[in-house]
Chains A and B, each alone.
Chain A
Amino acid sequence: MANIGTVNDSEFQQTVLDSDTPVLVDFWAEWCVPCHMVTPIVEEIGTEKGDGLKVVKLNIDENPQATQTYGVMSIPSLILFKGGQEVARVIGAKPKDAILRDLEPHLV
């Protein structure tokens, strides 16, 4: 039931920065308990927004470059990219409505 794609360091440019649609990147790790709670929420959001939003997850253990480039120092971190730029960032496990509150202004 994976409505969320994966992205890695080598694909980051193509999949995230060059995308015409906004992309929400879910930075996570296997050992991060709060991450497991946020990822299903991100999947739901991806399904609800349909073609208006792409959602992908990035494993920080396997992809140190993107993790460092975007200064991710705490997970879960959700970063919304539009036109190759970071426009919003949600740090830490939060309920769906709190996450949407931060993201929706950018998803018109």
Chain B
Amino acid sequence: MDDIRNVLIIGSGPAGFTAALYAARASLEPLVLKGLEAGGQLMLTTDVENYPGFADGILGPELMEQMEKQASRFGAEILPVHVTEVDLSTRPFAVRAGDQQWRARAIVISTGATARWLGVPGEERLRGRGVSACATCDGFFFRDRELIVTGGGDTAMEEATFLTKFASSVTLVHRRDEFRASKVMAERALANPKIRVVWDTVIEEILGTDAVTGVRLRNVKTGEVHEQATDGVFMAIGHDPTTALFRGQLDLDDEGYVRVQEPRTATSVPGVFAAGDVTDTTYRQAVTAAGQGCKAAIDVERFLEAERHNG
């Protein structure tokens, strides 16, 4: 109830579950608070081809289910709880979810990142009515329709390619003249007969009353503006770290990522460690998140051991 845990892990993607696995095997009896988007970003993909150890690929949700089972097997306690507040100003730290509260000697922050939105007129209003940031979630509703995907990284390539399963056509709108996506993904998208690309272009506004009917596009090089009819717009423009909970309590960089003391996972607050996309603006892969989760657990173990020694 109000007993003090050794370590509390906030978030349940590859970073969180790997931290939980290692902490459990170190007999730290970790508690994982899964969060609303339990399982993290891999829950919203289908085939994961680039996680090592799976020569034939594995479905994102299946991979996360395995990670959860593995952590649980060694004694990690895992709760489907969404943290609403943390207090890192005192030891032990306090973590709250609505009326429930836990206290812990150490915390691992692995809250990951969430999809970014454009912030253009019409986007908020038409969300769920043709505007989406999740192809696997909402692609189903657009059979034989025309779609726009905006973005230039791997997520955009994946979303666009996935959506060709349903849509009659997919237009990739990208603000530059080349993709930053990995070669394999970019080539796959470009080779798809249902996908066409509009370069050097941004969406200025999303149009429609009760549902999306079109977009207003602007060419960033020529300034030319024109409207294009479409039935749906999918955002794939990147992710922002989920750190609102920690603002003002620990060091974040300008973009909101948690600053850690590489190569370790220590944050600006002793006893608080961070792993995964919440710290990482460079790599953002499931396997690097898992690796960092392992580091966080080892860092926690050493931290608690040192504390015990020093009285």
| A-to-B contact residues, CB < 8 Å | 29, 31-34, 37, 40, 71-75, 77, 91-97
Contacts and interface: CB of A to CB of B under 8 A. Distances in A.
Interface stretch (B126-134, B157-165, B276-284): B126-134
A92 B37 contact: no
Interface of B: 36-39, 43-44, 61, 80, 82, 84, 98, 127-130, 132, 137-138, 140-141, 210-211, 232
Q: Is the interface of A mostly helix, strand, loop or mixed?
A: loop
Contact of A92 (B128, B130, B211): B128
Given A73-B211, A97-B98, A33 B61 contact: yes
Contacts, number: 49
Given A33-B61, A71-B210, A77 B128 contact: yes
Contacts of B36: 37, 93-95
A69 to B, nearest CB: 13
A71 B210 CA distance: 8
Nearest to B34: A37
Contacts of A37: 36-38, 80
**Residue among A77, A92, A94, A97 having the largest count of chain B Cβ atoms under 10 Å:** A92
Contacts of B43: 33
10 contacts: A33-B43, A33-B44, A34-B37, A34-B137, A37-B36, A73-B141, A74-B127, A74-B132, A74-B138, A75-B138
